[in-house]
Amino acid sequence: MDIMVAIIAHIYAVNFKESLKIIKENDYINKFVKRINPKDLYTKEKMNETADIAMNYIDKKIKGKE
């Protein structure tokens, strides 16, 4: 899970709205999380929670609220 969080954290370095829109439109965050597919339910929940936080951040950046 540490590697997954480190990879998702890279979106915080993306400065262009257009790039964030592409990430959102192609659902790259959720696709990435689904590919890992852990067997442990707790880890799966935390990964989904991390993806939700990232997607909320992307939405705010696209709307110019952050």
Residue-level pLDDT at 26? 97
In tens digits, the chain (66 residues) has pLDDT values of: 788 888 899 999 998 999 999 999 999 999 998 898 888 999 999 999 999 999 999 999 999 876
The model's pTM is: 0.83
pLDDT of residue 3: 83
Nearest to 62 by CA among 1, 6, 14: 14
- H helices of the chain, where? 2-8, 17-25, 28-36, 41-63
**Which pLDDT score, from 0 to 100, does residue 66 have?**
63
